[in-house]
Amino acid sequence: MKLQRLSHKELVAAFCFLAPSMTGFAIFYLIPFGQSVLYSFQNAEEGSGLTLSNYRELLSSSSFQKAAVNTFWFTASSVPIVIALSLVLALLLNQRVFLRNWLRSAYVLPLVVPVASIVLVWQILFDWNGALNAFLQHFGGERSDWMKSDWAKLVIILIYIWKTVGYNVILFLAGLQNIPAQYYEIADLEGAGTIRKLFGITLIYLMPATFFVVLMSILNSFKVFRETYLVAGDYPHDSIYMIQHYMNNMFLSLEIEKLSAAAVLMAASILLLVAVMYAIERAFRAFME
């Protein structure tokens, strides 16, 4: 009885500590999202009642289809690149290399630099009168309007990689440092080479961290809109017109129902990806056990 009473007191204390955060989360996130879900099933032109007309119009819209395809291909192309690059850098920084501590600090800088400063640097670099065009013209090349051409997608991928790689490196380094050193010592005694240790020990025991890095990279790929919007504006090149651009334009035209439908579909897609990743991780853990 005393133990149950103590547990009850601890539960009440924990709830009191969590109440301010839970209240803020409910007011600014949970309740607005619930209202968005409700708005997505409403249509002012059809009167009261719930309807799927917003979703039908959304899925048949060429603008939304273009935004969805661009978002999918951006995530599918940029996430594997940033994961592979982050893993290579983490493996390098986990060794005793020259300026290792300085490099570790350098990769963290994108996480603390304000977005406005980041955008300003990229604008100076890829503007028509920017540094890259000046460099090309100096060596006899031709200027290019990078953000108004097919190169715009590559520019956004570079911004995403530059912004995300440092965070992923930190996660990979934490995973590498949790691998017991005895495993490598036993492998050395058995005559295992570098490649064998990489695929037989490092990548296997780094898999939980890898799942988390993949998940965070996918989620961060949906947040690149902020930089894209500041660099390219409301209506960027077709190759970088993302779902968030579509939602922003729907907000500016006050089409709240279509905006809500797009937000619900995007949230459902993210939840589906998260569920798939967790299912794969559970299956891997069961296999390892």
Task: Give the per-residue pLDDT at 44.
Answer: 66
pLDDT tens digits, 36-49: 888 888 876 665 66
Sign, Cα dihedral of 62, 65, 66, 67:
positive
Distance of CA 17 to the CA centre of its chain: 30
In this structure, the number of other CB atoms found within 10 A of the CB of residue 65 comes to: 13
Q: Which residues contact 151 (CB under 8 A, 6 or more apart)?
A: 144
Q: At 112, which CATH number?
A: 1.10.3720.10
Backbone torsions φ then ψ of 177, nearest 5 degrees: -75, -15
Task: Give the per-residue pLDDT at 100.
Answer: 62
- Does residue 82 lie within any of the structural domains? yes
Sign, Cα dihedral of 183, 189, 194, 195:
negative
Closest CA to 198 of 216, 179, 217, 211: 179
- Does residue 259 lie within any of the structural domains? yes
pLDDT tens digits, 198-232: 888 888 888 888 988 998 898 888 888 777 877 77
Instruction: Mark residue 98 as left, alpha or beta (left: phi above 0; alpha: psi -120 to 50; beta: remaining).
Output: beta
Task: Give the per-residue pLDDT at 47.
Answer: 58
DSSP string of the chain, one letter each residue: -HHHHHHHHHHHHHHHHHHHHHHHHIIIIIHHHHHHHHHHT--GGG-SS--SHHHHHHHH-HHHHHHHHHHHHHHHHHHHHHHHHHHHHHHHHTS--TTHHHHHHHHHHHHHS-HHHHHHHHHHHHSTTSHHHHHHHHTT-----GGGSTTHHHHHHHHHHHHHHHHHHHHHHHHHHTS-HHHHHHHHHTT--HHHHIIIIIHHHTHHHHHHHHHHHHHHHTTTHHHHHHHH-SS--GGG--HHHHHHHHHHTT-HHHHHHHHHHHHHHHHHHHHHHHHHHHHHHHHH-
- Does residue 17 lie within any of the structural domains? no
Quote the CA–CA distance of 261 and 104 in Å, as a whole number.
Answer: 42
Counting the structural domains of the chain, the total is: 1
- Does residue 1 lie within any of the structural domains? no
pLDDT tens digits, 120-149: 787 788 877 778 888 888 788 788 878 888
| Banded model confidence at residue 284, pLDDT cuts 50, 70, 90 | confident
Task: Give the per-residue pLDDT at 180.
Answer: 85
> Taking 90 as the threshold, does the pLDDT of residue 240 lie above it?
no
- Does residue 262 lie within any of the structural domains? yes
- Is the model's pTM score more than 0.85? no
Give percent above pLDDT 90 in the chain.
7
Quote the CA–CA distance of 284 and 252 in Å, as a whole number.
Answer: 45
Task: Give the per-residue pLDDT at 220.
Answer: 87
- Does residue 253 lie within any of the structural domains? yes
- Does residue 52 lie within any of the structural domains? no
Give percent above pLDDT 70 in the chain.
91
- Does residue 168 lie within any of the structural domains? yes
Task: Give the per-residue pLDDT at 80.
Answer: 93
Residue 146, domain extent:
61-288
| Banded model confidence at residue 2, pLDDT cuts 50, 70, 90 | very low
| Banded model confidence at residue 78, pLDDT cuts 50, 70, 90 | very high
